[in-house]
């Protein structure tokens, strides 16, 4: 483990410059650097712990960090604990933060080992283990789909016999649609069961399939009280979007959250979830369904949303969301409020097939029609290998846009998806 600072000749005892924050994996994936930037800008001393060698950090990240420790794995509790204790021998540590779903349990356990405030192990566990999460929320009166955890094929079959088809089978601690299967028949179920290594200790979450529209509710809270909140809508729902190549899926952050009473139920449910799970000062990402059975909770992560949703919230609300998060962690609050000027969204553009990208058509037309609404775009160059349909909204090409009218923005994103073709071979 490295013990030298980012800056050559850095002294063995680090200077305490106020609030000291350890950030897990400050440079990967790429937008992780924004968390380091924001913490530095609000006056924190930022110490990074990550898997990359120090020499691989780009100049910006190295400049924002006071110190960096390399570990073999940021999900290895013992390695992270050693690095944290090394830092604690040199200065007081106020916060240990993880912004990636897979890192949150290690961060929580190391906080507990090292006496650092923040999200507890119990809360992190409830936010990671879907069956335990749903049971805790049902006990608190939050409406959830019927669900169970299963460690054998027979337990899955028993749950399906009770609930009926369709059901969802997924990893108990998975994020998004990764590893998720919709099961509509005995044949579907048996095929999925054969792919699960129960004999090696694998477990799954099995849930009643919920009909209806899917969206997400994102917050930053202080001591359990929501300070910032945003609602986004998926078109279509995630499971369909991640399974169907011809669809150009999108999600849109609404700017009507404060003006439409229909969102009050989402906000009220979100606050109940935060209280029930014991979430204190943290970002959250919560998914929900609204359909024949009313508003139903789906799942929550005790961390910022993925797919760079905060970039959209910033573009729509005249905020730097990374800086808002840092301001809240370091100074305990913020006096900034979202403007709700724009709805902002992303449309994913899938290649025609697997292989390599060969070019694009329709871009000039879209630029001519909607160039003033486009925030930014990612258009991988010809020769770039394609990624699978299930790899997510930002896996291949995408366009992000904003408009003051939510319905018009949805129309624009639909038009972009219909007009632009990503050619591949």
Report CA torsion sign: 71, 73, 74, 78: negative
Residues 8 and 21: their CA atoms lie apart, in Å, by 21
Pairing of strands 397-403, 374-378: antiparallel
Residue 285 has pLDDT above 90, yes or no: yes
Mean pLDDT of 298-326: 97
User: d(Cα 319, Cα 324) in Å, to the nearest integer?
Assistant: 8
Backbone angles phi, psi at 326, to 5 degrees: -65, -40
Band of pLDDT at residue 309, cut at 50, 70 and 90: very high
CA distances from 361 to 364, 415, 422 (A): 8, 13, 7
**What Rg, from alpha-carbon coordinates, does the chain have?**
22
Nearest-CA neighbor of 164 among 207, 195, 133, 198? 207
Element of type H or E holding 232: strand 225-235
Measure the CA–CA gap between 84 and 218, rounded to whole angstroms.
Answer: 29
Q: Give the pLDDT confidence score for residue 170 in this predicted structure.
A: 86
The pLDDT value recorded for residue 178 is 65
Q: Which helix (H) or strand (E) holds 326?
A: helix 321-331
Q: Which burial class, exposed, middle or buried, applies to 29 when counting CB atoms under 10 A from its CB (0-12, 13-18, 19+)?
A: exposed
Burial class (CB in 10 A: 0-12, 13-18, 19+), 279: buried
Q: Give the angle 265-270-276 at the CA atoms, nearest 5°.
A: 125
Predicted local confidence at residue 3, as pLDDT: 36
Average the pLDDT over 132-156 and give the result: 93
- Backbone φ, ψ for residue 193 (5° rounding): -60, -35
Sign, CA dihedral 244-250-251-254, equals: negative
Provide φ and ψ at 393, rounded to 5°: -70, -25
Cβ within 8 Å of residue 168, ≥6 positions away: 180, 181, 182, 183, 205, 206, 207, 208, 209, 239
pLDDT at 6: 38
Residue 227 in contact with residue 221, Cβ under 8 Å?
yes
Residue 198 gets which letter from DSSP? Answer: G
Distance set, CA 146 to CA 130, 201, 278, 288 (Å): 11, 23, 22, 14
Rounded Cα distance, 216 and 232, in Å? 5
For residue range 196-249, list pLDDT tens digits in order. Answer: 988 888 889 899 988 999 999 999 999 999 999 999 999 999 988 988 889 999
| 248 closest CA partner among 421, 69, 57 | 421
> Contact 344/316 with Cβ under 8 angstroms?
yes
pLDDT digits (tens, 9 = 90+) for 34-67: 999 999 999 999 999 999 999 999 999 999 999 9
For the segment 160-199, what is each residue's pLDDT rounded down to a tens digit?
A: 999 999 998 988 766 656 678 889 999 999 999 988 988 8
Q: Is 354 in contact with 327 (CB distance < 8 Å)?
A: no
Q: What is the dihedral of CA 185, 191, 194, 196, to 10 degrees?
A: -80
Quick check: pTM over 0.75? yes
Q: What is the mean pLDDT of the chain?
A: 93
245: CB partners within 8 A, 6+ apart: 350, 353, 389
pLDDT confidence of 7, banded at 50, 70, 90? very low
* φ/ψ (deg, to 5) at 116: -105, 130
The residue written with tokens 């979430």 in the block is 279
Query: Domains of the chain (ranges plus CATH)?
Result: 20-118 (3.40.50.20), 146-208 (3.30.1490.20), 213-424 (3.30.470.20)
């Amino acid at each position: 483990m490295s013990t030298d600072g980012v800056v050559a000749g850095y002294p063995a005892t680090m200077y305490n410059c106020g609030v000291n924050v350890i950030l897990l994996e400050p440079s990967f994936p790429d937008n992780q650097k924004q968390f380091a930037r924001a913490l530095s800008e609000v006056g924190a001393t930022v110490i990074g712990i990550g898997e990359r060698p120090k020499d691989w950090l780009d100049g910006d990240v190295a400049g924002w960090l006071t110190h960096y420790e390399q570990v073999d794995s940021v999900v290895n509790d013992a390695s992270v604990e050693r690095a944290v204790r090394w830092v604690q021998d040199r200065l007081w540590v106020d916060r240990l933060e993880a912004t990636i779903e897979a890192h949150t349990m290690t961060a929580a356990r190391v906080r507990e080992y090292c006496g650092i405030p923040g999200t507890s192990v119990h809360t992190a566990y409830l936010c990671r283990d879907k069956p335990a999460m749903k049971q805790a929320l049902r006990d608190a009166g939050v409406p959830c789909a019927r669900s169970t955890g299963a460690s054998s094929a027979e337990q899955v079959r028993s749950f399906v016999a009770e609930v009926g088809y369709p059901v969802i089978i997924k990893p108990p601690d998975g994020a998004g649609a990764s590893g998720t299967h919709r099961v509509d028949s005995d044949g579907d179920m048996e095929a999925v069961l054969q792919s699960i290594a129960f004999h090696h200790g694998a477990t799954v979450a099995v849930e009643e399939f919920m009909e209806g529209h899917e969206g997400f509710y994102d917050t930053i809270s202080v001591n359990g009280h929501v300070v910032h909140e945003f609602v986004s809508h998926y078109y279509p729902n995630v499971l369909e979007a991640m399974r169907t190549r011809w669809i150009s899926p999108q999600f849109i952050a609404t700017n009507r959250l404060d003006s439409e009473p229909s969102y009050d139920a989402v906000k009220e449910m979100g606050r109940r979830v935060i209280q029930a799970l014991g979430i204190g000062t943290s970002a959250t990402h919560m998914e929900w369904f609204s359909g024949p059975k009313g508003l139903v909770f789906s799942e929550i992560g005790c961390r910022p949303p993925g797919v760079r949703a905060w970039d959209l919230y910033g573009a729509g609300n005249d905020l730097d969301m990374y800086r808002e998060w840092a301001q809240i962690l370091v100074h305990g609050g913020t006096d900034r409020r979202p403007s709700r000027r724009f709805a902002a969204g992303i449309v994913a553009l899938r290649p025609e097939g697997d292989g390599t990208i060969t070019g694009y058509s329709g871009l000039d037309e879209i630029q001519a029609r909607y160039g003033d609404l486009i925030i930014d775009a990612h258009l991988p160059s010809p020769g770039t290998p394609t990624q699978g349909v299930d790899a997510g909204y930002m896996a291949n090409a995408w366009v992000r846009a904003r408009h003051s009218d939510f319905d018009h923005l949805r129309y624009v994103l639909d038009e972009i998806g219909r007009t632009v073709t990503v050619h591949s071979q």
